[in-house]
Amino acid sequence: MKRQRGFSLLEVLVATFIMAVAVVALLSNLTTSLRNASRLTDYDRAALLARHKMDELLLTPRLPRMEVIEGRFDPSQSSGLDAGWRARASIFEFLPGAGPGSQILERIELEVQFQNAGKLKSFAMEGFRRRYLLPDEPPPVLPGQGPPQ
């Protein structure tokens, strides 16, 4: 009598179980990678929107001093990202006795908020610009001090 060659049922079941465990682990890693890629894409979009808004604020000739200005990003501009911004301009540095025509250094603080996975995320950035005081602007004062007498 001739013996038949091949795999036994037990060997096939063990091989199938090992393959199933490997496939489940691979799919789990793939799902995690896709979730992380989506999250990072939202962060990248928000960073690009923040840079664009900061450039816009730096080029705006007159920003209200020490007042918060805010707005929302246009959904068509933000690729569907639900995001908003808040900014504040303040005088960072100036020479004593500065008046119209004097050079000052302004600091612009920008905070961007956006929705990511149902949670509100935010990050802040700041920029500096040099400009001249205009004739109709009040002279600069340090925080905590009143206008000059």
Report the range of poorest mean pLDDT among 57-61, 70-74, 93-97, 141-145: 141-145
pLDDT digits (tens, 9 = 90+) for 19-75: 999 999 999 888 888 887 777 788 888 899 999 999 999 999 888 888 999 999 988
pLDDT band at 142 (very low <50, low <70, confident <90, very high): low
> What's the pLDDT score for residue 107?
94
> What's the pLDDT score for residue 109?
96
54: in domain: yes
Q: Does the pLDDT value for residue 1 go beyond 70?
A: no
143: in domain: no
The CATH number given to whatever domain includes residue 16 is 3.30.1300.30
124: in domain: yes
98: in domain: yes
149: in domain: no
Q: What total number of domains does the chain contain?
A: 1
138: in domain: no
Q: Are 137 and 106 in contact (CB under 8 A)?
A: no
Question: Can you give the residue range of the structural domain that contains 17?
Answer: 9-132
Return all residues near 115 (Cβ < 8 A) that are at least 6 apart.
81, 82, 83, 121
> What's the pLDDT score for residue 125?
95
> What's the pLDDT score for residue 5?
79
50: in domain: yes
142: in domain: no
CA distances from 143 to 7, 46, 66 (A): 84, 31, 10
